[in-house]
Structure 1
Amino acid sequence: MNQDQKRVAIVTGAARGIGAAVALRLAAEGHAVGVVDLTEADAAVTAAAITAAGGQALALGADVASEAEIVAAIGRVTDELGPPAILVNNAGFARDADIADMTNEEWDAVMGVCLNAAFYATRAVQPHMVAARWGRVVNVSSISALGTPGRVNYSAAKAGLIGFTKALAFELGEHGVTANVVAPGFVVSDMTAKTARLLGRDFGEHQEIAARSIPVGRVGYPEDIAHAVAYFTSEGAGFASGQVLYVAGGPRD
């Protein structure tokens, strides 16, 4: 990457898993990265890995469901690294329950982190992108957007991200800003490990079972998702906007 192509990126939920892989990949592309997670100490692990590899990173602690905290984190990135040109809204978590048993708190908590946070962060960074007439917003959804039993909150939030992204693509396209969705399938992560525990399965066995239903014959890894995000944030992806890319080892409707 040429020096004039280096940009500032922000990745939420970047302490581990998909978020960490995305942050590391964007740093490898030459971008300075604002690494955001719930605590600065957690974010610092990924930031340290970036700097150890010769990159530039800033660790930030923020509850992304809080508008005040995410706006403050973006302000620090702007002050210390420069105006953000790339935003990856990756933060998310699940609180599973059938709808009959799901509480308002479980609904609101998932909506706050998985959907509201993307709104707060995107609204805060878009003035910088519009002013520069260049920007990339990538929202990490899930195949759960197509519906998953026991996850009406998570499915609704991840489906909401898709509609949010398509509207952004219409609104911001004339300003040189693209917005796209990466929707992972089964990816080795803390979330899928938790599911295995709830089912009483060894995590290795859980992965083997999942792989049998995936056309490519294997489960996904955080780096698989990072590859897709890297494309959507690239200079060459300027004509791709409002798209949903299922990175799931096979086709999805």
Structure 2
Amino acid sequence: MRKLLNKIAVVTGAAQGIGAKIVERLLEDGATVAALDINQDKLEQSTKLLDPTGERVIPMVCDVSEGAEVKAVFEQIYEKLGRIDILVNNAGITRDTFFHKMTEVQWDTVINVNLNSMFHTCQAVIPKMRAQEYGKIVNISSTSSWGNMGQANYSASKAGVIGLTKTLAKENGSKHITVNAIAPGQIDTEMTNLLPENIKMMGLLLTPAGRMGDPSEVASVVSFLSSDDSSFVNGECICVSGGFLMP
């Protein structure tokens, strides 16, 4: 069922992993997608596979941690596509180390990409979503938002995502705008594959499902939250973790 037919979506961190699967799923659901990523080569490769014509998946290179760059890119999207119905904030990075060894650069870089980026993108769309009295915002957080060794910067950024999500949900719900978060657990992506084997095995042992998740399983929840099927779901954080976290 093409439940997002004629909808316009923006997905950040869209070149690979969870982001690429989200773009693919929204495209299958009928949406036209502006796919944003800082890595031009990977972005163009990914989007050409999904839509060789470039008519329904539009690759746009953007460093979402830079406010001026986000503003310019979103102005281009509005000029080209007319409106934005769905925003999926997926861009994220890690710079893992124990806190007593963490540098200010490692802290700031993760906060800027994972959290400050959502300030920039949400400010770019919320005024217009309020004017059109419709919008769906989905922010990708993490089970690490509840704390994880070696990830003080990442955990803080992803916890901030949940707080931002709930606040924006309260502020904009009366305008028929829903804002929700997803907290993936251990998902089989390029980022997760960089983890040491003992850390990955520990995660699997603590996951009742007994396996890693597939990016498509996160994308399916994004699909739900991006559609009118979720019209009365607002301010939630849905864990997609195979039971690893049950808050």
Normalised TM-score (structure 1): 0.91
Quick one: distance in 1 between partners of 2:142 and 2:148?
A: 10
The residue that corresponds to 2:96 in the other structure is: 96
State the AA in 1 paired with 2:58. L
Structure 1 pair 55/231, CA: closer, same or farther in 2 (3 Å)? farther
3-state SS of the aligned residue for 2:60? strand
Contact 2:142/2:183 (<8 A) preserved: yes
* Distance in structure 1 (CA, Å) of the matches to 2:228 and 2:147: 33
Q: TM-score, normalised by structure 2?
A: 0.94
For structure 1, list consecutive stretches of 5 or more residues without a partner in the other structure. Answer: none
Q: What amino acid maps onto 2:246 in structure 1? A: R
Task: State the 1:209 CA deviation.
Answer: 5.3
CA contact (8 A) 2:169 2:179 kept: yes
CA distance change for structure 1 residues 142 and 53 in 2, over 3 Å: closer, same or farther? farther
Q: What is the CA distance between 1:167 and its match in structure 2?
A: 0.2
Alignment of 1:2-81 (within 5 A): 5-52=5-52, 56-81=56-81
**Amino acid paired to 2:170:** F
Where does residue 217 of structure 1 map in the other structure? Answer: 210
What secondary structure does 1:92 align onto? coil
CA contact (8 A) 1:50 1:56 kept: no
* Displacement over 3 Å in runs of 4+: 1-5, 52-55, 205-210
Count how many residue pairs are aligned between Structure 1 and Structure 2: 246
CA distance in 1, matches of 2:2, 2:160: 36
- Amino acid corresponding to residue 73 of structure 1 in structure 2: V
Q: For each residue in 1:10-64, what CA deviation from the matched residue of structure 2 results, as whole angstroms up to 9, or x when unmatched?
A: 0000000000000110111111100000033332223212214997011011111
**For the Cα contact (< 8 Å) 2:2–2:29, is it kept in 1?**
no
The answer as to whether partners of 1:67 and 1:120 remain within 8 angstroms in 2 is: yes
The answer for the alignment partner of 1:229 in structure 2 is 222
2:231 aligned to 229, 235, 238, which one? 238
> 1:154: which partner in 2?
154
Structure 1 residues 55 and 26, CA gap change in structure 2 (3 angstroms) = farther
Q: 1:115 to 1:140 in 2, by over 3 A?
A: same
1:100 is paired with a residue whose SS is helix
User: What are the within-5 Å matches in structure 2 for residues 186-197 of structure 1?
Assistant: 186-196=186-196
Q: Deviations over 1:156-204 (max 9, x none)?
A: 00000000000000111011100000000000111111113xxxx3xxx
Q: 1:112-150: CA deviations, max 9, x gaps?
A: 000000110001011221122110000000000000011
Identical positions, percent? 37
2:184 paired residue number: 184
Q: For the residues of structure 2 that align with 1:98 and 1:221, how far apart are their CA atoms? A: 28
The yes-or-no answer on 1:252 pairing with 2:246 is yes
Aligned CA-pair RMSD: 2.0
